[in-house]
Amino acid sequence: MTVPSLSPEAPVGVFDSGLGGLSVLRHARARLPADDFLYVADSGNAPYGERSAGWIRERSIELGHFLIGHGVKALLIACNTATAAAAQALRERWPGLPVIGMEPAVKPAAAATRSGVVGVLATTGTLASARFAALLDTVGRDIRVITRPGTGLVEAVERGELDTPATRALVASHITPLLAAGADTIVLGCTHYPFLRTLIEQAAGPQVSVIDTGDAVARQLARKLGEAGLLRAHGIGTERFWSSAPADAGEQVLRCMWRGDAAFEALPR
């Protein structure tokens, strides 16, 4: 599939392994109030963190095809795991299309830490990726980086269990080892995790900084669109949502996280 001529009036395509990318979409909506967004939640296949890089790459290309078929002017990969596995493949396949991905905020965390120890909470796929290794090699030389796979956190967010005793206990089980290792700064390396930020901050305590990259990625999206002459100047933007899971499985969570009248359309499989 070739990319059609890009227009400022076209929508921006966003995809994630599930609902976590809504945390990034919030920032993108704030930065680009006039633009339309098409959001794909691949919740039927979540979480991506335990899947192979090859599977994630092929699935990301499928989702890219779907969004390009709806005429998008850019792709925003609102998923750290998919960015690590597939961003380069998407850029090579559609070189004329702006493709913006995620990156764990190790660089700002390195600048913020006082103890010299940074904790990174992310999926197994992100932590094992060559992209993450290269990031650490570039910006992590003068600090100690402690990584922790956030097993179970994506699933809790997908179920809408954002403040239950079980989720509190799960969050604490991941944060406590980072604190024990001396981390005074924690990076949220998965777009699902900002929905648990309150619990994470409570578990970490007031002396620990918690950093995510949602707004930085939204700024990068706006910059890329501006450089390409693709910013929509006027109007009030809309959102349209698809999910690969049954609509009733996530629609209540979507409405809680986004807006009361939001609804999923079925993503063709």
pLDDT truncated to tens, each residue of the chain (269 aa)? Answer: 666 689 999 999 999 999 999 999 999 999 999 999 999 999 999 999 889 999 999 999 999 999 999 999 999 999 999 999 999 999 999 999 999 999 889 999 999 999 999 999 999 999 999 889 988 888 767 899 999 999 999 999 999 999 999 999 999 999 999 999 999 999 999 999 999 999 999 999 999 999 999 999 999 999 999 999 999 989 999 999 999 998 676 888 999 999 989 999 999 86
* Annotated catalytic residue, options 19, 67, 79, 122: 79
In the chain, where are the structural domains located?
12-102+215-266, 106-212
CATH architecture of 12-102+215-266: 3-Layer(aba) Sandwich (3.40)
Task: Please check whether residue 171 is in contact with residue 199, taking contact to mean a CB–CB distance below 8 angstroms.
Answer: yes
pLDDT of 11 reads: 98
CATH topology agreement for domains 12-102+215-266 and 106-212: yes
Which of these is catalytic: 100, 135, 190, 221?
190
d(CA 80, CA 101): 7
What is the helix (H) or strand (E) element at residue 16, kind and residue range? Answer: strand 12-16
Q: Would residue 79 show up in a list of annotated catalytic residues for this protein?
A: yes
| pLDDT value at residue 211 | 97
- Residue 136: the pLDDT is 87
pLDDT, residue 4, reads 66
By the 8 A CB rule, do 139 and 110 touch?
Answer: yes
What class, spelled out in words, does domain 106-212 have in CATH? Answer: alpha beta
256 flagged as catalytic: no
State pTM to two decimals. 0.93
